Amino acid sequence: MGRAGKHAIRVTADGPAEAAALREAIVGRARELGVMGWVRSSDAGAIQIHAEGDESAVDDLVGFLRAGPSGAVAVERVEAEGHEQFAVRGVSAGRFVVREHAGTAPGFDFRLEVGGVIRSWAVPKGPSLDPAAKRMAIELADRAPAGDDLEGDGGEGTTVWDRGTYEQGGRVAWPEALERGHAVFVLHGEKLQGGFALQRTGGGKKPRWLLIKRRDDDARPGSDVVADR
């Protein structure tokens, strides 16, 4: 039956050249209907949708897809995943950077652009591509971006270790996911690729988190990306 009796489907639809406009139209209609899940464009140019909720609302969304510009639509019944949003996947949410600190207090800091501010964590041992290596991350004060502040203001002896863009993921909308203490995201960097999660483990003035690599095609069990690169 899935979660709490939710009806859930996975849809593949032909994607037109203006796929971004279709994605936004699907998001708008899903939110009107109270349907949860996600939409993304596949590498082959199709539109993929996961939709869950009341069966009549999910059916209305399928009807919207069949009546619209998406063309052929294939529907498969799946298990509900428990989403609390309907979001666009596969689209950049902003930039990330990892800075390395040398000298007497070596370490790294990890920064994300989130909702107009820079969210930062000190990661003493640096990030890992090994899902078994759960790296401690200490939350730092939010910063208002000024110029290229995402990469700057690292102090003497710091360098940019990695940079790129990221996608927000998970079942809960950002930045609420961070406020709840569990946020899932995908990095597209020069050294760091694939899914990661930040999991809060303690509160206080400097809350403690774990930075964890998710098990996907970009995971490298047993590796040490900091030592290797």
Domain residue extents for the chain:
3-88, 94-228
pLDDT digits (tens, 9 = 90+) for 30-61: 999 999 999 998 877 789 999 999 999 999 99
pLDDT digits (tens, 9 = 90+) for 171-197: 999 999 999 999 999 999 999 999 999
The strand pair at 73-77 and 7-13 is best described as antiparallel
Q: Which two tokens stand for residue 139?
A: 């939350």
Where is 189: in which H helix or E strand? Answer: strand 182-189
pLDDT at 70 over 70: no
Mean pLDDT calculated for residue range 152-170: 83
Residue 214 to residue 39: CA distance in whole angstroms: 21
Q: Which two tokens stand for residue 93?
A: 């949410």
Residue 185 to residue 197: CA distance in whole angstroms: 6
Fold assignment, 3-88: Alpha-Beta Plaits (3.30.70)
